[in-house]
Structure 1
Amino acid sequence: MPGETEPDGVADAKDDARTGASDASDSTDTATLSPSDRVIPTWTEPLARAGSAPIGGPLGVHAVIGRHWFWTPLRVALLIAVIGLTIGWFGKAACVQQYYNEDAKQLELDWRSNRPFTAMCYSDIIPLYSAEQLDKGGFPYKTSWYDDAGKPTQHERWMEYPVLTGLFQWVNAKLTDGWLKIADSGWLPTGLAVTVFFDISAFWLALAWLVTIWAVTRTARRRPWDAVLIAASPLVLVHAFTNFDTLATACAATALLAWARQRPLLAGVLLGIGGAAKLYPLFLLGALLVLCLRAGKMRAFTTTAVAAVVTWAAVNLPIALLYPRGWWEFFHRNSLRGADPDSLYNVVAQFTGWQGFDGPLPFGQTPAVLNTVTAVLFLACCAGVAFVALHAPTRPRVAQLAFLVVAAFLLTNKVWSPQYSLWLVPLAVLALPRWRLLLAWMTIDALVWAPRMMFYLGDDKKGLPIDWFLSFVVLRDLAVVALCVLIIYEIYHPARDLLRHNGDDDPAGGVLDGAPDKVVLGGRRREKVAIPEPV
């Protein structure tokens, strides 16, 4: 009842849930933790406590935990993820509908009446099937073509994605060809090739997101239920199948798990693979560098860094040697890009009338000043993160610094494609597992999609003006900045860090977990974390 004090049993149980106290086991591995070592979200998270009401309310004091023959936090999270990914697939399915074109006498993709924007189902995967010439059967990076043929802007093109992502698309195109051949014999359902290509790609991308959840659950150790935030993230509902980014999140998350299990070589291999799919997993090396420098664990970092570079080179080198121009296209295209609509540079330009750092540029000219500014700003942010890592009284956790580095890249970069926000989701859950706060940020970020689609629709087709879209972009950026500020606050006030309430130092730290400091700016000593009393 309101106003009543909690029974002693509940208070003791909450204390155990917060501190991870256990007489049965001192192990910190998820597989060997005793039930009382787990953090119970319905006791510690107001959002989870309120959400448990329809199924009987918070966990009881005398409930038996961890004994169910099947349902574990990981399996519950995976089930929720499957439901969320299914919803996400249906959200994109409107864009792979087909119709019979009476004039052409053939089935075609039904993008009439601006369906991708009015139905908000747009996915890069669908147009890339033909735009990257995957439907022609050519090998990526070897095959080239001309865009805008016959126009003044005609230019030669190759596959514009990093090697593993390009090969991923090519393999799925080949699987599509095989599927259609079998379907012609009546053994499989059939449809347009692009529809089959999208579905095959979506299957692998969904599997990669499930791997991401598995890795985060294992890395979080005492807080496996935090993975529910990844499974039920609004960003997954909108962007799991917008592009191919879940491949990189799976590599980054499994690399963090390998590092947490003190397997730096494997961590480096996974980061190298992730970097060959999307560049951002390699940014995690920066976080590991400064933390290992502070703890005097440079041998482990060197192993990881060398493994990452060698793996990345092993994947890229064959393509770079055989098809150097095609391999270089990813870097070439990114250097040519101007400030995308969702970048802070475009926000400032649209609201102020500013012409940009380079001013109006003719087609095909590189925005050299913009490229330099974005690089300098990112490096300056990285230097700031390094200062925090070496100056804070208590060494930050790996996930905290990883989130700060990736967020700094997105905020300072000239491109923030909507699906890039998926990069932050697993890092945010490991760095700042505050459910209401993270859900609020992910909801804001996901909602950017609606005004984006309405802006792309155009005013002449009853779309929204650009101001609505840019306003949501600013809200998203402010939300990410707020998360960064809170993470830095918790770095300097470790007693506020929920991950340290269990008596742990850094669950994802691997060789860093519990290690003494060797290099600290200002000569500060490692601060003992004071765990607050349960409320």
Structure 2
Amino acid sequence: MSDTATLGPRERVRPTWTEPLAEHASGPFGGPLGRHAVVGRHWFWTPLRVALLLAVVALALGWFGKAACAQQYDAGGGKLELDWRSNRPFTAMCYSDIIPLYSAERLDRPDTFPYRTSWYDDEGEPTQQTRYMEYPVITGMFQWVNAKLAQGWAELAADGWLPSALPVVLYFDISAFWLALAWLVTIWATALVAKRRPWDAAFIALSPLVVVHAFTNFDTLATACAAAALLAWSRKHPTLAGTLLGLGAAAKLYPLFLLGPLLILCLRSGKMRAWWRTAGAAAAVWVACNAPLFLFASTRPGWWEFFRRNSERGADPDSLYNVIMRFTGWPGFDGEVPFGESPFWLNLVSATLFLLLCAGIAFIGLHAPRRPRVAQLCFLVVAAFLLTNKVWSPQYSLWLVPLAVLAMPRWKLLLAWMTVDALVWAPRMAFYLGESNRGLPEEWFLGFVVARDLFVVVLCALVIYEIYHPARDLVRRFGEDDPVAGVLADTPDKVVVKPRPVEPAERERVPTG
């Protein structure tokens, strides 16, 4: 149904009218919503509750996808062991960092405390190295608490009070439960932020990336904080938004990047006081989370482990730098880096490229004829980080999902990107399996990596196009300025860089094709 202009200025956007994907999918259920249908009267099934239900379905599929790696077998004499025989994590494509980290981070030991407990990798070898918990504070403590819960469950199970399983299996299940709740918070916050487009949250609830990566690592903790921070900002609570961004940065670094777009938009709107409140709260919360470990000599080396490890990492297989090195034979910026040293030039180039892209995004934010929406700039900044970073772990793509839907809610395009991104997992697992075990050569995996990166570049280009052509922006189609604007709503521009004037045709509503 192309005549979408009949929607009133306060009516909920109806996907079967505006999204070809939803329109075609509605065929078996009677087709698009009728013009005289009564909307919003059901006593229970609101779009938010439908989105949460669909998210539960996707999360259940995600858990079953990883469950093959949490199976047990009898190793003899009634002793149970984790069944990772015959390269099961790669052949079943069920690999999850959560399971090996239980023992790798020494969480299986009763006297372990993150950032204080240390151990040696390659003990007795030339590559011997002292190791600590390698995750930021909140994620590290999250793992430790879940390990204690799993061990407590195992003790009760031994007494016959609860069903029994290996502690590592219990640890995975308990972690998955909390990570699922964090993703539900992400969906909840995104649906409330979207306002007149609540069905967008239902769309991302079934994202293929969630099915594949919700339990690959601990990233839904950060997505929940970031989405809740955007909700708080949209409700004109900058201090609360900063608090949530600080918590998110203490779990994963990326929520801190959202302060950049807010800085540019507050500068353009003359609302710097709100930004300082947000940035101050984020800094205070991050310091409060980290100070207890940094201030004590027994935990300071462990606290620094996250930064040291990230500094010393080379170009991961899924980075553009590795793609270029593999396909061209180029040895990289630093060549062969000695053990224990950081790839100086790679770190410098990666950081410089990211800062240059951020400068370009800042220029767009100040130069566009109409102030860009918050989600548009946030998506561009996070995408710029992933594209220029030396590491793009597969679960990092979850960072983009809620931002992409808020920035450019074009369902067909986003579904295509999320499907391609999720499919990278299959050649990745086949590559890690090894050609000697009938896996795939690295080139197959890198080909999918290039396809994913190109898709993200296309999304960025389209977001920039819509920033400079506001009439093509689906969110602004019915006169809504920016659902995430918060204190920026209805404010005149104060600081701009010679903006291009909006053409008269761009002020008109553009019907859906």
Q: TM-score, normalised by structure 1?
A: 0.93
Q: Using the alignment, how far apart are the partners of 2:95 and 2:151 within structure 1?
A: 23
Give the 3 Å change call, closer, same or farther, for CA 242–495 of structure 1 in structure 2. Answer: same
TM-superposed CA distance for 1:64, in Å, is: 1.1
CA distance in 2, matches of 1:523, 1:395: 10
> Counterpart amino acid of 1:181?
E
Moved more, 498-507 or 271-280: 498-507
Shift of 1:229: 2.2
SS across alignment from 2:498: helix
Instruction: Quote how far apart the aligned CAs of 1:100 are.
Output: 1.2
User: Displacement, 1:525?
Assistant: 6.3
How far apart are the structure 1 equivalents of 2:486 and 2:509? Answer: 22
Describe the superposition over 1:290-345 as per-residue Cα deviations: whole angstroms up to 9, x where unpaired: 11000100000010000000000000111111211010000000000000000000
1:522 CA displacement: 1.4
Q: Is residue 2:394 matched to residue 1:418? A: yes
Q: Offset of 1:529 from its aligned partner? A: 3.4
Determine if the alignment matches structure 1 residue 121 to structure 2 residue 94: yes
Is the aligned partner of 1:53 residue 2:27?
yes
In the alignment, what sits opposite 1:15?
5
Amino acid at match of 2:396: Y
Where in structure 2 are the equivalents of 1:220-369 lying within 5 Å?
220-322=194-296, 323-369=299-345
* 1:451 shift after superposition: 0.2
SS at match of 1:117: helix
C-alpha change, 1:87 and 1:305, in structure 2 (3 Å) is same
Shift of 1:185: 2.1
Secondary structure of the 2:317 match is: coil
Please give the alpha-carbon distance, in whole angstroms, between the structure 1 residues aligned to 2:284 and 2:140.
20
Which residue identity lines up with residue 116 of structure 1 in the other structure? P
SS of the aligned residue for 2:346 comes to: helix
Amino acid of the residue matched to residue 444 of structure 1? V
Question: Which residue does 2:407 correspond to in 1?
Answer: 431
Report the identity percentage: 70
Question: How big is each residue's C-alpha offset from its partner over 1:21-40, in whole Å with a ceiling of 9 and x where there is no partner?
Answer: 35xxxxxxxxxxxxxx1000
Aligned-partner Cα distance in 1 for 2:416–2:183: 21
| Pair 1:106-2:79 in alignment | yes
Q: Secondary structure at the match of 1:453?
A: helix
Which residue of structure 2 aligns with residue 27 of structure 1?
Answer: none
- 1:379-394 equivalence runs, <5 A: 379-394=355-370
TM-superposed deviation, 1:446: 0.2
1:169 shift after superposition: 0.2
SS of residue matched to 1:500: coil
| Counterpart-to-counterpart distance in 2, 1:534 and 1:367 | 49
Offset, 1:99: 0.8
2:318–2:449 CA contact under 8 A, matched in 1: yes
- 1:465 paired with 2:455, answer no
Residue 120 (structure 2) pairs with residue 130 (structure 1):
no
Alignment-derived partner of residue 184 in structure 1: 158
Instruction: Provide, for residues 476-523 of structure 1, a one-character-per-residue CA deviation record: whole Å limited to 9, x for no partner.
Output: 000000000000000000000001012111110101122110001016
1:519-534 matches, cutoff 5 A: 519-522=495-498, 529-533=507-511
Distance change in 2, residues 1:534/1:112 (3 Å): closer
Q: CA deviation at 1:15?
A: 2.2
Matched letter for residue 87 of structure 2: N
Contact 1:77 1:228 in 2 (8 A): yes
Report the alpha carbon displacement of residue 533 of structure 1 after superposing the two structures with TM.
Answer: 4.2
| Map of 2:41 onto structure 1 | 67
Unaligned runs of 5+ in 1: 1-5, 23-36
Q: Distance in 2 between matches of 1:151 and 1:106?
A: 32
Instruction: Report if aligned partners of 1:516, 1:526 keep a CA contact under 8 Å in 2.
Output: no
CA distance in 1, matches of 2:178, 2:164: 19
1:483 is matched with which residue?
459
Distance in 2 of aligned mates of 1:153 and 1:105: 37
Q: Distance between the aligned counterparts of 1:16 and 1:188, measured in 2?
A: 58
Contact residue 294 and residue 518 of structure 1 kept, 8 A: yes
Asked whether the equivalents of residues 291 and 395 of structure 1 are also in contact (C-alpha less than 8 Å), the reply is: yes
1:146 is paired with a residue of what secondary structure? strand
Instruction: Report how many aligned residue pairs link the two structures.
Output: 508
Relative to the length of structure 2, the TM-score reads 0.97
For residues 367 and 106 of structure 1, the distance between their equivalents in structure 2, rounded to whole angstroms, comes to 45
| CA deviation after TM superposition for structure 1 residue 177, in Å | 1.3
